[in-house]
Amino acid sequence: MSQSLSGWGRYPVLDCELSQPRDEAALRAALVQGPVIARGNGRAYGDSALQPAGTIDMRAMNQLHDFDPATGQVVTEAGVLLGDIITAFLPRGWFPAVTPGTKLVTIGGCIASDVHGKNHRHAGGFSNHLDWIELMGADGQVIRADANSNPDLFRWTPGAMGLTGVILRAGFRLQKVTSGWIQQDTIACANLGEAMAVLEDTDAAYSVAWFDCLGRGAALGRSLVMLGEHAARDDLPSDKRHRPFHVPPRRRRRVPMDAPAAALNRFTLRAFNRLYHWNGRRHAGRALVDWDSYFYPLDAILDWNRIYGRAGFAQFQCVIPLQSARDGLHDLLGAISESGQGSFLAVLKRLGPQDSPFAFPMEGYTLALDFPVNDRTLALLRELDAITVDHGGRFYLTKDSRLSAETLRHADRRVAEFAEIRNKYGLTGAFASAQSERLNL
Ligand SMILES: Cc1cc2nc3c(=O)[nH]c(=O)nc-3n(C[C@H](O)[C@H](O)[C@H](O)COP(=O)(O)OP(=O)(O)OC[C@H]3O[C@@H](n4cnc5c(N)ncnc54)[C@H](O)[C@@H]3O)c2cc1C
């Protein structure tokens, strides 16, 4: 069945032959048409889960197989949503050890992108909590990979964006938590230097900074830094202490239609950013926040990707190594502020080192910003690419929809070794996405 599909950014939109296998036999049959790519819940922003010849929707392979309360290890099929894991295990005191900013992602997607959260500096990426995977290769055989058997496939799959085969099942560990609540500290920072000082000095489990992209001069990098810790039962008010994992469901809203492009102009962005900062200053200090509002604020607004209009949006996310982070971020924020093309979402996180050889994180700072797609923003994004490369940074493939193969090669020397691993396992040509074809991966 051919269907128009896109990633979360709604750019690009491609007609793809779509299949939805319910078991291994159906998946094996779907592989024959090649090249193919697996798709989870479509939350990657660009074209990494799109293949016109064969896109395999894995969401029907969604069985939860096992849980070991002694180690916190869960065994699931790849199509299970992270949100379903939380629903099943938070009432028993367990939570994902690493989570992205949305729970509407599959376990296959979390592994293929090796997602990171606000605790990367202490907890690493999703792969740091992964014990084993089972993959279906081009010949339809199921291969188990862990630290001892097929170790290079195990190590290179996180961050490989589906290009090492279809993940069928995985065993990964959750973390034990004391409640479903987070003690959040909000700190208003006047500029980039202040925000980096807070992020550098904190030993809070979770940390993130939200930027007002339109601040200039002394206000460049004006931001709110939000720190968080899982609240202990004793930190909770008495009405919550007897049911520490119970959090009332949030009201969800829906963006009813595509916003007209003109709605997102420089003045609305400025007003939005100022309001957010002002509001944050008012609420600076400590607050008890439920897990859903803290980790997944955007999940409360269904279809929020429509606010950028029909043409869609692109997210820019890079990481700059620690030694050049201050200068690199200064140049990136300066170029954005200069262009006047701000972003509703500009997020800065401090990352720690990352072992997995093709994952995005490295020790340093990651900056993520959304832009509506148009000629002016695409030109700005190319400028941001060049600044990133100049400062020794690299790009997050799960957010990318428009990078060039040449820029990727300049930024990321691991690409050549990745191609060797793909060749070794007969994966080249069999697994390809619109992104891997654009980037010549
Ligand atoms: C609001 C929002 C906030 C986000 N915040 C963060 C964040 O803080 N940190 C972060 O790291 N990411 C973040 N992301 C990105 C998101 O976590 C990743 O893109 C994730 O991979 C999406 O999972 P998915 O199931 O939707 O996969 P898809 O978007 O469908 O696919 C993503 C990639 O995974 C591959 N894939 C999916 N399933 C399989 C499978 N079974 N086998 C092999 N490959 C597979 C696809 O081929 C594709 O390359 C965010 C995204 C959104 C929309």
Please give the full DSSP string across 71-110, using - where no structure is assigned.
TTEEEEETT-BHHHHHHHHGGGTEEESS--S-S--BHHHH
Max Cα distance, the chain (Å): 61
Q: Is pLDDT above 70 for 318?
A: yes
pLDDT > 90 fraction of the chain, expressed in percent and rounded = 80
Q: Which has the minimum average pLDDT: 61-65, 145-149, 340-344?
A: 340-344
Looking at residue 338, its pLDDT comes to: 87
Pocket lining for ligand 1, CB < 6 angstroms? 8, 37-44, 48-49, 58, 78, 100-102, 105-106, 108-109, 112-113, 115-117, 161-162, 166-167, 298, 398, 433
The residue-averaged pLDDT of 232-251 equals 88
Burial (Cβ within 10 Å: 0-12, 13-18, ≥19) of residue 57: buried
Indicate the pLDDT class of residue 211, thresholds 50, 70 and 90.
Answer: confident
| Predicted confidence (pLDDT) per residue in 128-143, tens digit | 999 999 999 999 999 9
Looking at residue 220, its pLDDT comes to: 87
Atom of ligand 1 nearest to the CA of 349: 8
The shares of helix, strand and coil residues in the chain, as percent rounded to the nearest 5, are: 35, 25, 40
Angle of CA points 126, 436, 104, to nearest 5°: 40
Looking at residue 280, its pLDDT comes to: 61
Per-domain boundaries in the chain = 64-177, 181-243+256-403
Give the Cα separation of 311 and 319 in Å (integer). 27
Indicate the pLDDT class of residue 298, thresholds 50, 70 and 90.
Answer: confident
Q: Is pLDDT above 70 for 344?
A: no
Write the CA distances from 267 to 71, 258, 338, integer angstroms: 52, 19, 15
Quick one: CATH architecture of 64-177? 2-Layer Sandwich (3.30)
Q: Which fold has domain 181-243+256-403?
A: Alpha-Beta Plaits (3.30.70)
The residue-averaged pLDDT of 10-39 equals 95
Atom of ligand 1 nearest to the CA of 118: 8
Measure 109 CA to ligand 1 centroid, in angstroms.
4
Q: Residue 313 has which token pair?
A: 């949006």
Indicate the pLDDT class of residue 226, thresholds 50, 70 and 90.
Answer: very high
Q: Which has the minimum average pLDDT: 1-15, 245-259, 318-332?
A: 245-259
Looking at residue 217, its pLDDT comes to: 86
Give the Cα separation of 192 and 10 in Å (integer). 31
| Residue 231 neighbours by CB under 8 Å, 6+ apart | 178, 179, 181, 182, 183, 288
Looking at residue 251, its pLDDT comes to: 72
How long a stretch of residues is the chain? 441
Q: Is pLDDT above 90 for 33?
A: no
Measure 40 CA to ligand 1 centroid, in angstroms.
7
Looking at residue 34, its pLDDT comes to: 80
Measure 87 CA to ligand 1 centroid, in angstroms.
19
| Predicted confidence (pLDDT) per residue in 397-427, tens digit | 999 999 999 999 999 999 999 999 999 999 9
The residue-averaged pLDDT of 19-37 equals 94
Atom of ligand 1 nearest to the CA of 48: 49
pLDDT > 70 fraction of the chain, expressed in percent and rounded = 93
Indicate the pLDDT class of residue 113, thresholds 50, 70 and 90.
Answer: very high
The residue-averaged pLDDT of 19-47 equals 96
Give the Cα separation of 333 and 128 in Å (integer). 31
Give the Cα separation of 249 and 86 in Å (integer). 13
The residue-averaged pLDDT of 347-373 equals 95
Atom 1, ligand 1: which residue's CA is nearest?
102
Looking at residue 276, its pLDDT comes to: 60
Determine the number of helices (DSSP H) and then strands (DSSP E) in the chain.
14, 20
Total Cβ atoms within 10 A of residue 375: 7
Looking at residue 133, its pLDDT comes to: 98
Q: Are 98 and 90 in contact (CB under 8 A)?
A: no
Pocket test for ligand 1, best of 43, 226, 369 (most atoms within 8 A of CB): 43
Measure 43 CA to ligand 1 centroid, in angstroms.
5
Looking at residue 31, its pLDDT comes to: 94
Q: Taking the model in full, what pTM does it have?
A: 0.95
Write the CA distances from 333 to 29, 209, 337, 383, integer angstroms: 48, 14, 6, 11
> Within 13 Å of residue 178, how many CA atoms lie on the same side as its CB?
11
Give the Cα separation of 217 and 159 in Å (integer). 37
Give the Cα separation of 310 and 264 in Å (integer). 12
CA atoms 275, 280, 283, 289: torsion sign: positive
Indicate the pLDDT class of residue 310, thresholds 50, 70 and 90.
Answer: confident
Q: Is pLDDT above 90 for 13?
A: yes
Measure 243 CA to ligand 1 centroid, in angstroms.
32
Q: Which has the minimum average pLDDT: 93-97, 203-207, 333-337, 392-396?
A: 333-337
Measure 193 CA to ligand 1 centroid, in angstroms.
31
> Within 13 Å of residue 425, how many CA atoms lie on the same side as its CB?
28
Report how far Cα 331 is from the mean position of its chain's Cα atoms. Answer: 24
Looking at residue 264, its pLDDT comes to: 56
Helix (H) or strand (E) holding 120: helix 120-123
Pocket test for ligand 1, best of 172, 398, 425 (most atoms within 8 A of CB): 398
Looking at residue 342, its pLDDT comes to: 66
Q: Are 384 and 186 in contact (CB under 8 A)?
A: no
